[in-house]
């Protein structure tokens, strides 16, 4: 921009904005008294991933009892032979409650996996990042979801051999996990 042009612009008179007349402000109403809220416990930010496992908390307590012995198991319908996952209290096909408990294979293949990089459930906050995956059990028509340990998530491969393991939750509960072994 030339010096000449700048000078021209600077000399243009700006419109005068009239002053805003002073408006009287009504007196403020007294602020309502607020009840002081005191947090008694930290809010539950995280979901509890593990289900209740007591006799009073679930009718599937045998699943957890067996898991404590290192056995992954589920229910099978005594009438139509349907294998369930997760274990049930009644058959979803024929609705009978005549079910039997069967042990499942302790080996499987990783069908798919992903990584938890943030927002881990309760008890796993310090484990981030970790892997979760879908596992096809060897010799059973079931694909199970679960955590996959034994290898960093970015070193896992589809098709990896995994072993089913019981995992003791620090609060006394138990759950299953997979461990990559091949
Ligand atoms: Zn059935």
pLDDT of res. 131: 97
Ion ligand 1: residues, CB < 5 A: 77, 79-80, 82, 91, 93-94
Please check whether residue 105 is in contact with residue 175, taking contact to mean a CB–CB distance below 8 angstroms. Answer: no
The alpha carbon of 91 and the centre of ligand 1 are apart by a number of angstroms equal to 5
> Which residue in this structure is represented by tokens 């947090």?
39
Residue 87 burial class via C-beta count within 10 angstroms: exposed 0-12, middle 13-18, buried 19 and up? buried
Per-residue confidence of the chain (182 residues) as pLDDT tens digits? Answer: 445 555 545 556 667 766 766 777 777 777 667 766 555 554 455 566 777 888 888 899 999 999 999 999 999 999 999 999 999 999 999 999 999 999 999 999 999 999 999 988 777 888 999 999 999 999 999 999 999 999 999 999 999 999 999 999 888 889 999 999 98
pTM: 0.71
Torsion over CA of 61, 66, 70 and 74, rounded to 10 degrees? -90
Nearest to 77 by CA among 58, 57, 62, 98: 98
d(CA 177, CA 149): 7
Cβ contact 90:96 at 8 Å:
yes
Rounded to the nearest whole angstrom, what is the distance from the C-alpha of residue 84 to the centroid of ligand 1?
Answer: 9
96 in Cβ contact with 78 (< 8 Å): yes
* CA neighbor of 140 nearest in space, from 75, 79, 60: 75
- 105-182 carries CATH number 2.40.110.10: no
CA separation for the pair 15, 17 (Å, rounded)? 6
Q: Could you tell me the residue ranges of all domains in the chain?
A: 54-104, 105-182
Nearest C-alpha neighbor of 134 from the set 118, 110, 116, 115: 110
CA of 89 to the centre of ligand 1 (A): 11
Q: Kindly calculate the radius of gyration of the chain based on its CA atoms and give it in whole angstroms.
A: 32
Beta bridge partners of 123: none
Pairing of strands 99-103, 174-180: unpaired
């Amino acid at each position: 921009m030339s010096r000449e042009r700048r000078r021209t612009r600077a000399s243009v008179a700006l419109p005068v904005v009239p002053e805003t007349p002073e408006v009287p402000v009504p007196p403020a109403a007294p602020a309502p008294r607020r009840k002081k809220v005191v947090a008694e416990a930290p809010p539950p930010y995280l979901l509890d991933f593990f289900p209740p496992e007591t006799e009073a908390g679930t009718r599937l307590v045998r699943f957890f009892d067996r898991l404590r012995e290192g056995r992954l198991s589920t229910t099978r319908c005594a009438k139509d032979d349907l294998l369930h996952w997760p274990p049930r209290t009644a058959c979803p096909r024929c609705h009978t409650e005549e079910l039997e408990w069967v042990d499942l294979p302790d080996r499987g293949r990783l069908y798919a996996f992903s990584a938890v990089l943030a927002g881990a459930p309760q008890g796993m906050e310090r484990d981030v990042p970790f892997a979760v995956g879908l596992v096809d059990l060897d010799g059973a028509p079931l694909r199970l979801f679960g955590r996959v340990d034994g290898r960093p998530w970015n070193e896992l491969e589809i098709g990896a051999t995994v072993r089913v393991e019981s995992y003791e939750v620090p609060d006394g509960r138990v759950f299953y996990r997979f461990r990559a072994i091949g």
